[in-house]
Structure 1
Amino acid sequence: MLALQLSALLTILPACLQAARILAIFPFPGPSQYINVVPYLKTLASRGHQVTSVNAFPQKTPVSNFRDIPIPEVFQNYNDIVNELYVLHELNMWQLFSFINKFFVNITRSVLTNKEVTETLLPPGKDHYDLIIVEALRSDAYYGFAAHFNAPIIGFSTFGTDWNIDELVGNVSPLSFSPLVTAGLTDRMTFGERVTNFVDTTISWLNYRIVHMPEQEKLYEKYFPVASKRVQLSDLNRNFSLVLLNQHFSLSFPRAYVPNMIEVGGLHISHKPAPLPKDLEEFIQGSGEHGVIYFSLGSNVKSKDLHAERREVILKTFASLPQRVLWKFEDDQLPDKPTNVFISKWFPQPDILAHSKVKLFITHGGLLSTIESIHHGKPVLGLPFFDDQFSNVKQVTRAGFGLGLDHKTMTQQEFKASIERLVREPQFAETARRMSDRYRDQPMSPLDTAIWWTEYVLRHKGAYHMRVAGQDLGFFAYHSLDVIGALLVGALLTFTIAVCILRKVASLAGFGSSKRKQKVQ
């Protein structure tokens, strides 16, 4: 009832708030990131705000109050980059973070050199915007749009948070229970894992400061020459009004947040599943009592590109199962496809997971897929490939609603045994349903929450009253290293003075004693 009342309240807010001009920058070439955020942007447009979206996936049909600025340049060499992700485990940590930073520097440059961006957004005085919303993912230079338009800025993080996102709003990130996203760790770390997390995070921080930021500062000064003379990029990085996180404590683990850091995990999920296409529904209904398994490796990993030997393991396993299988496969034909397998280049994933006959989700472990599995209460078999997928699958196994396998080494027997266990043992489905209940038990839907806080920032002209003082402190002051250093220097000086005094006293005492001895003689 409370959720309905709050949602109803949202419907009357446009009458109380002047329509704003909003510039949104989400140019990442992986479609899952934009799938996550586009319902949020479209909802803002439906509420009367004029939204300009800089992105790689423009709308196929016009949307009222919504203007696309396509950035096709970000797709240059993208497939080659995705293929390189498979060998990231061969790099040391410094090389890994350099690879990541180079990738995002190239994306940032693609945005700032795009013809429509340079002609309509970058010229001084050409246009104005009341709010900037950016994907806060190592593309610091286009935070310059906030200074360029003298507008507040909201960050959106599609993977939750890490030390880099936390720094935008002065949030606390104790390394003792805040693992690096790429580390494949949970918040319950052993001593050895905490050492690894500390070292890896330190390397990430140093690489960001030494390698990444100088490149971003060059881009900022080149493409925002007027704004960069007024505001340094290091100040923009600490001037965010709000950060929205695609995360929720029921999905991962609880942690502390400052007031302007808001969890909105799963805002892309519709709460009213749409009917499935006729052929898909008939295939699912024909599964009988055994039900259906849904298999997808997401938008970046292509099933068609799997090594032939890996594909054979999967095919033989599926052929031996009593369940029917929906497989997201990017080619029209799948050689040796079993009769119980239905392939398609695209599936309406949330609608499929909502179906009562779907018994298991085999996934790469991307965050959107993990959230969708929890929302719909489905057990998971995770086959992680890179980035945060390892951490997500580890959380799944720790929570007890799924299992994980190494896709590079798993045998047919291991793959089949894991599937059978997840389908037959009831505790996995029961845990998934409990996780779903916890996640859904929120006063407002994630999308309504994101909209409310966005318009809160607009209503209060940036809502700078929510900013913690830590946003204005440098690294040494924020961590009290200057205080610790001063105390150590003070203690050292006190100790040195005390030693000198004691030596002087001892010397004087020794001198007096020798005089008395001479007198006695």
Structure 2
Amino acid sequence: MGGLKEVCCLLLVSTLFFTFCLPSAMAGKVLVFPVDGSHWINMKIIIEELHARGHKVTVVRTATSWYVKEESPHYKSITVTLPKGVIIEDEDFFVSFLSKMLEIQRGRGSPLAFIKFFWEMLSALGIFTGRQVSWQWRYLKNQTLMEELRSTHFDLALIDPGTPPGVLVAHKLGLPMVFNVRWITSGEGHFVVAPSPISYVPTSGFAASNQMTFGERVKNAGYYILNNCIDRFIVSPPYNALMTRYFGPDANFYHLLQGADLWLMRVDFVFEFPRPTMPNIVYIGGFQCRPAKPLPAELQQFVEGSGEHGVIIMSLGTLLKGLPAEITSEIAAAFAQLPQRVVWKHVGERPKNLGNNTLLVNWMPQNDLLGHPKTRLFVAHGGTNGVYESIYHGVPMLGLPLLFDQFENFLRLEVRGAAKAFDVSNLKSQDFLKAIKEVLHQPSYRENMQRLSRLHRDQPVHPLNNSIFWIEFVMRHKGAAHLRTESYKMPWYSYHSLDVIGFLLAVMLALFGAVILIMRLLCLRMCRRQKSKIE
């Protein structure tokens, strides 16, 4: 009997070993088109896991890339050199854009500020779209590159459609497509692939909850119409012109997006509002989160020296060099008045008023700091990676949203009582200090964030493992067409059943008309009979 138990234990251990420790039996070839900056941070995690399971990964990068390195043990790279005017990874562009946005936000509330805001947004979008289209055109016309990709016989294309050259290349090569996505060229990805009723689904660019008042629903409808106009008249035309040139007159760029086999959506409904979805959307929000590792010795010493007060960490992400000097000086002055120690990721001019309790660093192990027991607060701009890491470790946030979806991200946390957003454009040290103390000393912020953390962690499968399973699923079955709706091929009037409504109205009108006609005929007949009787 004891021998039987030993054999069973051995078989169980062997099964677990072959299941989790050995590379995937079906090693495939994966072509990756990433987006730089913070997007690359989470794409890299998926690439490393694919490599660990035996898959061969090839990453297409540009020579000017910030974070996508040419040499890596986890992937082979193909580097494409672009002319200066086509460079997407232009940090000065984002810094200049941020400065203009902050200046406009100082006059928030006035109609002129609103017009300026959208003018700058549309101008930046036009420049960015032009660069991307030029970038794609150079990819598609590069016969050497296309032949190299075609001869490798990839099994799948893994794409971040935030910048969409990979979508066109994958379509040209006839590869199944998996998106690692939250944002696409026209906004939040759900609005392209899933039903999105604007009565309770906040549209891209409008910071509102899913329980909107009548006035908010009116604004939401306005933003939805505006986004569609921007997409129709600014974003789509250059892409569709490119599509016509390389794929024929009937090709449509958004049909390519909607035709992706699988959408790995960087969303978790602990954070996102409930909304309709589709079978080919797999939710992997927080897949980059992991238990904290030990800190580097110098940083560990600084954190441990904070005593009972603990530490605050601050980071404004990867794309921006930093805030204007007058704002960073106000932030530094507020930090200097706190008993907590502060670890501040800051690149650029050293802020004035910097206190002895504040450590400036060019880089920080953000996940490991958030997981340290002495961390009390995370001051951040509201990028998705930082938000999910904060949720995972249960650390409340004070938000300094700057651009794009960061305002909406903090609105979602504020609704759940786990964070407080602060207007960085008019930041004064005493107001900022008051906001810090509110989040630090009101227990509800930490309690609510820890509740979100428990919900987020309570999953049957880790989101990273889930994402790898579905990537390998698409490889094994050479696509996942059975999960994808074909509704995007329908004309708009058919999609909204306007033709059916029109037909039913016509039938009802015809029946109503027939009834009226019959009644009139009967009335006339009766009148004639009565007339005949009288005569």
Q: Per the shorter chain, which TM-score range? A: 0.7 to 0.9
State the Cα deviation string for residues 429-467 of structure 1 (Å, max 9, x = none).
122111111111111211111101100111111022222
8 A contact 1:71–1:110 mirrored in 2: no
Q: Aligned pair 1:134/2:159, yes or no? A: yes
Secondary structure, counterpart of 2:425 in structure 1: coil
Shift in Å at residue 214 of structure 1? 2.2
C-alpha distance in 1 between matches for 2:345 and 2:421: 19
Given the superposition, is the C-alpha separation of residues 124 and 508 from structure 1 closer, same or farther in structure 2, using an over 3 Å criterion?
A: farther
C-alpha distance in 1 between matches for 2:158 and 2:346: 34
- Residues 294-373 of structure 1: pairs in structure 2 closer than 5 A: 294-303=313-322, 305-308=323-326, 310-331=327-348, 333-373=350-390
The structure 2 residue matched to 1:11, chosen from 4, 12, 20, is: 20
State the Cα deviation string for residues 17-39 of structure 1 (Å, max 9, x = none).
2x22221112x34x111112111
8 A contact 1:52–1:69 mirrored in 2: no
Q: Aligned pair 1:187/2:187, yes or no? A: no
Q: Aligned pair 1:39/2:45, yes or no? A: yes
2:108 — aligned with what?
Answer: none
The structure 1 residue matched to 2:195, chosen from 153, 169, 172, is: 172
8 A contact 1:162–1:180 mirrored in 2: no
Q: TM-score, normalised by structure 1?
A: 0.86
Secondary structure, counterpart of 1:69 in structure 2: strand
Shift in Å at residue 468 of structure 1? 2.9
Secondary structure, counterpart of 1:374 in structure 2: helix
Secondary structure, counterpart of 2:205 in structure 1: helix
8 A contact 1:104–1:138 mirrored in 2: no
8 A contact 1:163–1:173 mirrored in 2: no
2:179 — aligned with what?
Answer: 155
State the Cα deviation string for residues 163-215 of structure 1 (Å, max 9, x = none).
8633654x222222211132111222112212221221122123323432221
Shift in Å at residue 45 of structure 1? 2.3
Given the superposition, is the C-alpha separation of residues 5 and 67 from structure 1 closer, same or farther in structure 2, using an over 3 Å criterion?
A: farther
2:167 — aligned with what?
Answer: 143
- Residues 136-285 of structure 1: pairs in structure 2 closer than 5 A: 136-137=161-162, 139=164, 142-159=166-183, 165-166=189-190, 169=193, 171-222=194-245, 225=246, 227-228=247-248, 233=253, 235-269=255-289, 271-285=290-304
C-alpha distance in 1 between matches for 2:510 and 2:125: 45
Shift in Å at residue 110 of structure 1? 2.1
C-alpha distance in 2 between matches for 1:339 and 1:68: 46
C-alpha distance in 1 between matches for 2:149 and 2:462: 39
The structure 1 residue matched to 2:493, chosen from 467, 470, 476, is: 476
C-alpha distance in 2 between matches for 1:472 and 1:508: 53
Q: Which runs of 5+ in 1 are unaligned?
A: none
C-alpha distance in 1 between matches for 2:513 and 2:127: 49
C-alpha distance in 1 between matches for 2:406 and 2:511: 52
Shift in Å at residue 133 of structure 1? 1.7
2:110 — aligned with what?
Answer: none
Given the superposition, is the C-alpha separation of residues 307 and 506 from structure 1 closer, same or farther in structure 2, using an over 3 Å criterion?
A: farther
Shift in Å at residue 154 of structure 1? 1.1
Shift in Å at residue 380 of structure 1? 0.5
After TM superposition, the structure 1 stretch with the greater mean CA deviation from structure 2, 55-64 or 453-462, is 55-64
C-alpha distance in 2 between matches for 1:407 and 1:471: 41
8 A contact 2:161–2:183 mirrored in 1: no
Q: What code does the residue aligned with 2:279 have?
A: P
8 A contact 2:182–2:189 mirrored in 1: no
1:80 — aligned with what?
Answer: 93
8 A contact 1:94–1:203 mirrored in 2: no
8 A contact 1:377–1:435 mirrored in 2: yes
C-alpha distance in 2 between matches for 1:373 and 1:161: 27
Shift in Å at residue 265 of structure 1? 1.0
Secondary structure, counterpart of 2:180 in structure 1: strand
Shift in Å at residue 76 of structure 1? 6.2
